């Protein structure tokens, strides 16, 4: 009885497997066509234009401007927060917004740069590299890299 059942199942699978594969391909194409048709009629909303010049700079240019004290970390973070607030309702990219934490960290970095430069450490005013940019992958937390001057690393 067991051998007959095994043979029957093997025969059934051997015959039906190619048919199931064909049915799956047909199903996938029908679903793909249905979604393509549905979303082709959906109105596409363009993203708002970028008005803040901080958003048009590369991370290297922003770090240099902060290093030279032409821009502050807070102003850069505020620019990115503003852009995220404008664009996120359209993209729905962020689940959690930690804007206050980002601003607080940016203030802390600006204060640290001011302290170091006010103390007369010329090497730090010239060589400190600061990147304060919100990052969507870490819930818009602030990544701070204050390097490579040794006097900045001391607290």
At residue 116, the pLDDT reads: 82
Kind and range of the H or E run holding 75: helix 73-91
What pLDDT does 145 receive?
A: 44
Q: What is the pLDDT of residue 118?
A: 76
Q: Average pLDDT for consecutive 10-residue bins of the chain (155 residues)?
A: 83 87 96 90 83 92 88 93 91 86 92 80 44 40 39 36
pTM exceeds 0.85, yes or no: no
What 3-state DSSP class applies to 73? helix
Provide the token pair at 22: 């064909």
**CB atoms inside a 10 Å sphere around CB 22:** 10
Residues in the chain: 155
Residue 11 has a pLDDT of 84
């Amino acid at each position: 009885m067991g051998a007959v059942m095994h043979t029957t199942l093997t025969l059934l699978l051997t015959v039906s497997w190619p048919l199931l594969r064909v049915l799956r391909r047909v199903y996938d194409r029908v679903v793909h066509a249905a979604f393509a048709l549905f979303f082709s009629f959906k109105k596409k909303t363009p993203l708002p234009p970028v008005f803040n010049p901080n958003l048009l700079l590369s991370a290297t240019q922003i770090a240099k401007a902060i290093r030279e004290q032409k821009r502050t970390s807070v102003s850069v973070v505020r620019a990115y927060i503003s852009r995220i607030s404008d664009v996120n309702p359209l993209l729905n990219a962020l689940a959690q917004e930690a804007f206050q934490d980002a601003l607080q960290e940016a203030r802390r970095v600006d204060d640290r740069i001011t302290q170091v430069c006010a103390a007369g450490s010329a090497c730090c005013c010239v060589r400190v590299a600061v990147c304060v940019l919100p990052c969507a992958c870490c819930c818009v937390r602030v990544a701070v890299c204050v390097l490579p001057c040794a006097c900045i690393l001391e607290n």
